[in-house]
Structure 1
Amino acid sequence: MYVSRFHYLILEFERERMEPIDKEAMLTGQAEIWRYMFNFADSMALKCAVELRIADIIHSHGCPITLSQIASGINSSSADINCLARIIRLLVRKKIFSASPQTDGGQTLYGLTHSSRWLLHDAELSLAPMLLMENHPWLLAPWHRLSDCVKEGCIAFEKAHGQEIWDFASVNPEFNKVFNDGMKCTAKITTATIVSGYKDGFGCIGSLVDVGGGTGAAMAEIVKAYPHIKGINFDLPHVVATAQEYGGVCHVGGDMFKAIPEADAVFMKWIMHDWSDEDCVKILKNCRKAIPKETGKVIIVDVVLQPEGDGLFDNTGLVFDLLMIAHSSGGKERTEPEWKKLLNEGGFPRYNIIKIPAFLAILEAYPE
């Protein structure tokens, strides 16, 4: 045994002599692993800031304020200002909030940045509900099942909760609200960009059905910009049951795998990525039946993956691909070749990709 150990050490020494280890690179690698290991702390600090409405408190003053002023605005009679200071210190380093030390010895003033303005609850465009949704324990639990998905090919959400996500939402009103609120806020953000980026794409449409439209926020924005459009918001019955009324929009409950309401065109935002290729082909074939053969089209708003890209949202696209493993029932984000294959199999061989200044792109697809 000792001889074998001696020979092993000799071989290791020879290997290191021939291929010296880059100690600086190894140290950098170690630091990277530590950073990735605790990346969740950034999300939790952000969630804390949203729950405490820190951005709203600063915004209500109309200017940067002190830590004491932030603490006094929190809905608590016993706020721990030391704990608050440590959380804000990290968020300042991450450039979520700004910090301006006073030269006269006064307290540091904390202000909003372009990032924290997206955390305002009452802003017309806010990501606060989406952040709370994605960091809710219900939606974090499936992430711990990724290795099970690799080993067993299972559905992570079902593994964590005993039901697939849509079934879970149908019997859990609290989850249904958290989920719908998250979808509603992102619908407002992306739809505003879609309406401006798609320009005349909606102009020739008399009627439009939003398949998987949630509570109708996206369709409401489209109809507001194009009042001539008859809007149909189509989703599962338990989803549209909680939808508010919007002018020019009617809510229809149903199952997109069975039939889709007829219209001049079909609109689908962040729907296809939830489903497998096989399921997406079924949806597309039902879309094909719902629109006019000669003039109909499908407007898909989804991620077009650029795995090697260095664009503003390309890394987030890859993260969303893993999100589909965690939350969907076989869904995924797709590259353009994958979209082309899917659309062709679904009966839409002609398509255009319209890039917009957003996380998503518009795929305009036409039947044979």
Structure 2
Amino acid sequence: MESPDMLNAEATLWSQIFSFLKSMTLKCAIEIGIPNAIHNHGQPMTLYELHDALSLPINNKPNLRRILRMLTHVGFLSVRQNTGTDTELVYDLTPISRLVINKPNSSSLSSFVLAMLDFTFVKSSLHLGDRLKQDKLETFEMAHGCTLWELTGQSPEFNTLFSNAMASDSSFLSDFIIKHGNVFQGISSLVDVGGGSGSVSMAIAKAFPDIQCTVLDLPHVVSHLPDDGLVKFVSGDMFCYIPPVDAIFLKWILHDWADEDCIKILQRCKEAIPPRDAGGKVIIVDAVVGSVSSTTYRESQLLFDMMMMTVCPGGKERDEDEWWNMFKEAGFSSYRIIANLGVRSIIEVYP
């Protein structure tokens, strides 16, 4: 190998090695409040303005500049020369950083980011090699001595962190799901299985008042949630029983489980809904690997597949053939994929 090729290979290797620091820099930006500060300021900010607004120690101004340099490099912020100056730079929000601004009546993904980059999840990824060398424990169990779902039941703090992350994702995605309103046409009742705090169900109920929406989830998830008349919350186990309904809604549920577990869940779904000619169906929101041509979407699907390998026993992202094989095994006759949710898709499955 020629010297330039070797040096390019080394640079690429370094980029791969240290890519985790892009994520940690993003986490830092949200924790110290950079996106919120620029948003609240109403216009781009200089390093000095940001330093003052964030109330950071004076000796951390050079470190803040280094953080901002990385954030602009990865596209989280934009940077330009300040008008009328030769050296001063101003930093502004981009579409990515606008996703994590915390403001009233707006969906923010900051809770999702902070949860996914919490050490609870990061620690699990350190055991990937150990997991592949043996066939007993999963990576999350290696890291924490219990499964993800056991930890949510044991630790109120982690349960809140995880629930807030899922709720923020649901709030963000609900508007895009509602735009595909034809999916919900002709439905009078719907059960949101594993729907958590009910963010998506509430959006569906508001957009389609004729649909009676129920959230089914584990007791520690829904027992404290009030019944506001818009959405009903029911404690239960999706592996055992799902209340009879026109349609079942499964958002980001099946990718948490191995194929045999998904088939059990789908069988419970099939038992709960009427035949297709009576309007029965299952509506799934999940990734279909390879269904989109965008390189960014594809990489995000593959990265989240690695995430599932580290946190959920048997959890994975599936391609279309893998989905169809499970649907057939569970007794369903056909399906339709609507690939218009970015990384994820809507899949209608018919009995």
Q: Which one has the largest radius of gyration?
A: 1
Q: Is TM > 0.5 for Structure 1 vs Structure 2?
A: yes
Structure 1 position 98 matched with structure 2 position 78: yes
* Cα distance in 1, alignment partners of residues 338 and 85 from structure 2: 53
CA distance in 1, matches of 2:3, 2:22: 29
Q: CA deviation at 1:300?
A: 0.7
The separation in 1 between residues aligned to 2:154 and 2:303, in whole angstroms, is 28
Q: In 2 relative to 1, CA 246–322 (structure 1 residues): closer, same or farther, beyond 3 Å?
A: farther
Please list every run of 5 or more consecutive structure 1 residues that lacks an aligned counterpart in the other structure. Answer: 1-20
> What residue number does 1:160 align with?
143
Distance 1:86 1:247, change over 3 A: farther
Aligned residue identity for 1:82: P
Match of 2:195 among 213, 221, 226: 213
Q: CA deviation at 1:227?
A: 1.2
Q: Deviations over 1:325-358 (max 9, x none)?
A: 1111211111101101000001112111111142
Q: How many corresponding residue pairs?
A: 346
Name the CA distance, whole Å, in 1 between partners of 2:285 and 2:79.
Answer: 38
Query: In the alignment, what sits opposite 2:66?
Result: 86
Corresponding residue of 2:214? 232
Q: Report the equivalent of 1:282.
A: 264
SS in 1 for 2:127: helix
Among residues 314, 320, 326, which one is paired with 2:304 in the alignment? 320
**TM-score by structure 1 length?**
0.90
SS in structure 1 of the partner of residue 262 of structure 2: helix
Pairing of 1:143-292 with structure 2 (within 5 A): 143-153=125-135, 154-196=137-179, 198-243=180-225, 245-292=227-274
Query: Which amino acid in the other structure matches residue 268 of structure 2?
Result: N
SS in 2 for 1:214: coil
Q: Does 1:119 align with 2:100?
A: yes
Distance 1:246 1:88, change over 3 A: farther
Which residue number corresponds to residue 135 of structure 1? Answer: 117
- Where does residue 332 of structure 1 map in the other structure? 316
Q: Report which stretch shifted further, 300-309 or 26-35.
A: 300-309
Partner residue of 1:109 out of 74, 90, 97: 90
How far has the Cα of 1:245 moved from its partner?
4.8
CA offset at residue 219 of structure 1? Answer: 0.7
In structure 2, C-alpha distance between the alignment counterparts of 1:340 and 1:79, rounded to whole Å: 58
Within the alignment, does 1:62 sit opposite 2:18 as a pair?
no
- Structure 2 stretches lacking a partner, 5+ long: none
Shift of 1:194: 1.3
Task: Judge conservation of contact 1:256–1:286 (CA < 8 Å) in 2.
Answer: yes
Cα RMSD of the aligned pairs, angstroms, is 1.8
Name the CA distance, whole Å, in 2 between partners of 1:56 and 1:95: 17
Partner of 1:355: 339
Q: Which moved more, 1:261-270 or 1:239-248?
A: 239-248
Deviations along 1:232-257, one digit per CA (max 9) or x if unpaired, are 01111101134355542011111111
Instruction: For residue 67 of structure 1, report the CA deviation from its aligned partner.
Output: 1.5
Sequence identity percentage: 38
SS of 1:261's equivalent? Answer: coil
